[in-house]
């Protein structure tokens, strides 16, 4: 039970919460507090264990410093020990996933997620996680089986129960269509992954246009709009019916296709990898040939 200066009472058994509410001034102790907060933010559990292990490391290191061993040598020793420990775990203790059945994997996931966050739903989420990891299974050029965890995209939405979570067999983007009038579903989809702007064309920096007749201004504005329209028409003519771009899309360019603007580059790379597409950052005519678009994705 913690009581602050104004009398507010906090009752908790969470180590990170306790450390966060303490007024710590010692530099080394502040590092431990930040370590606990990082563990809580990244993993959600194990904050007390991390602080205890880190404090023991500091205690042992302090004894070595008193024996006149330089801190740099101590840090190098810790790093060497970390590499050896990871090597030992990988060679002696780790078991390949292929040798385990799905039941064993689910039990491992259940144990890992029996924390204070989702302890009541550990059975549900264990199966969800195992299916998601098995879905991204891949074999590299050397024949090694890998499970790239970064290939799993986690989207969070408010308003429903945690048990409403589900695994989508595909790749979901945390964004919406550029306009409500666009179709909700396209099949088969031809996807264009772009890394350039589809907004109204503007003159580049350093380019000047001298106008003597004010009536010519409207023609300049019209030509800027026409250039953007020509780009969109070439995209559509090439057969693209789904356009993903990391930049903006002008409202006048919103056609009957599904267009998504401001897609994160990381998401774009995942989509390109999942579909076999290539992300382009410049506008070339040959890029927009139908051979460059990916067929068959819904």
3-state secondary structure the chain: CEECCCCCEECCCCHHHHHHHCCCCCHHHHHHHHHHHHHHHHCCCCHHHHHHHHHHHHHHHHHHHHCCCCHHHHHHHHHHHHHHHHHHHHHHHCCCHHHCCHHHHHHHHHHHCCCCCCHHHHHHHHHHHHHHHHHCCEECCCCCEECCHHHCCCCCCCCCCHHHCCCCCCCCCCCCCCCCCCCCCCCCEEEEEECCCECCCCCCCCCCCCCCCCCHHHHHHHHHHHHHHHHHHHHHHCCCCEEEECCCECHHHCCCCEEECCCCHHHHHHHHHHHCCCCECCCCHHHHCHHHCEEEEC
Identify which has the larger pLDDT, 277 or 137. Answer: 137
Q: What homologous superfamily is domain 189-297 in, according to CATH?
A: GroEL (3.50.7.10)
Write the Ramachandran bin of 159: left for phi over 0, alpha for psi from -120 to 50, otherwise beta: left
* Residue 293 or 47, more confident: 47
- Of 175-184, 192-201, 276-285, where does mean pLDDT reach its minimum? 276-285
Instruction: Look at 92 and 18; give whichever has higher pLDDT.
Output: 92
Query: What does the pLDDT average to over 212-227?
Result: 79
- Tokens 């030509």 belong to residue: 223
Q: Is the pLDDT of residue 289 over 60?
A: no
Phi, psi of 160 (to 5 degrees): -130, 175
Across 104-108, 122-126, 236-240, least confident range:
236-240
With bands split at pLDDT 50, 70 and 90, how would you rate the model's confidence at 253?
A: low
- Say if residue 273's pLDDT is above 70: yes
Per-residue pLDDT band at 141 (split at 50, 70, 90): confident
* pLDDT (0 to 100) of residue 22: 78
pLDDT score, position 117: 65
- Considering the segment(s) 2-93 as one domain, its CATH architecture is Orthogonal Bundle (1.10)
Phi, psi at residue 75, to the nearest 5°? -65, -40
Within 8 A by CB and 6+ apart from 288, the residues are 192, 234, 235, 237, 238, 240
Three-point CA angle 181, 298, 127, nearest 5°:
115
pLDDT computed for residue 249 by the predictor: 80
pLDDT above 90 covers a percentage of the chain that reads: 11
pTM exceeds 0.85 for this model? no
Q: What is the pLDDT of residues 23-63, one digit of tens each?
A: 788 888 888 888 888 888 877 777 888 889 998 998 999 99
Mean pLDDT of the chain, nearest integer: 79
Most confident of 58-67, 118-127, 143-152, 164-173: 58-67
For the stretch 254-266, pLDDT in tens is 655 678 888 888 8
Q: State the pLDDT at residue 294.
A: 42
pLDDT for res 119: 65
Domain with CATH 3.50.7.10 in the chain: 189-297
Per-residue model confidence (pLDDT) at position 82: 94
Using CA atoms, how far apart are residues 63 and 57, in angstroms rounded to an integer? 10
Higher-pLDDT residue of 108, 79: 79
The pLDDT of residue 27? 86
Q: For residue 240, which of 275, 208, 202 has the smallest C-alpha distance?
A: 275
Residues of the chain with CATH 1.10.560.10: 2-93
pLDDT at 288: 39
The CA-based angle 269-254-242, given to 5 degrees, is 35
In the predicted structure, residue 242 carries a pLDDT above the cut 80: yes
């Amino acid at each position: 039970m913690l009581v602050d200066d104004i009398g507010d009472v906090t009752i908790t058994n969470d180590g990170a919460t306790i450390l966060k509410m303490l007024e710590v001034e010692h530099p080394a102790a502040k590092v431990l507090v930040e370590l606990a907060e990082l563990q809580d933010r990244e993993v959600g559990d194990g904050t007390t264990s991390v602080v205890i292990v880190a404090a023991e490391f500091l205690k042992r290191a302090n004894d070595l410093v008193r024996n006149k061993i330089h801190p740099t040598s101590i840090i190098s020793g810790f790093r060497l020990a970390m590499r050896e420990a990871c090597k030992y775990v990988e060679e002696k203790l780790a078991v390949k996933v292929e040798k385990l059945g799905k039941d064993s994997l689910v039990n491992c996931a259940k144990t890992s997620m029996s924390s204070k966050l989702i302890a009541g739903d550990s059975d549900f989420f264990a199966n969800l996680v195992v299916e998601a990891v098995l879905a991204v299974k891949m074999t590299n050029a050397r024949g090694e089986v890998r499970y790239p965890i970064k290939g799993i995209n986690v989207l969070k939405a408010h308003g429903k129960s945690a048990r409403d979570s589900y695994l989508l067999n595909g790749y979901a983007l945390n964004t919406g269509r550029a306009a409500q009038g666009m179709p909700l579903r396209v099949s088969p989809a031809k996807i264009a992954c772009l890394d350039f702007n589809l907004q109204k064309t503007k003159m580049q920096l350093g380019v000047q246009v001298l106008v003597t007749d004010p009536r010519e201004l409207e023609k300049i504005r019209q030509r800027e709009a026409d250039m953007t329209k020509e780009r969109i028409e070439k995209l559509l003519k090439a057969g693209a019916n789904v356009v993903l771009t990391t930049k903006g899309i002008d409202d006048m360019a919103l056609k009957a296709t599904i267009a998504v603007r401001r897609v994160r580059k990381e998401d774009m790379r995942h989509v390109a990898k999942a579909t076999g597409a290539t992300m382009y950052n410049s506008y070339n005519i040959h890029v927009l040939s139908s051979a460059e678009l990916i067929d068959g994705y819904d």
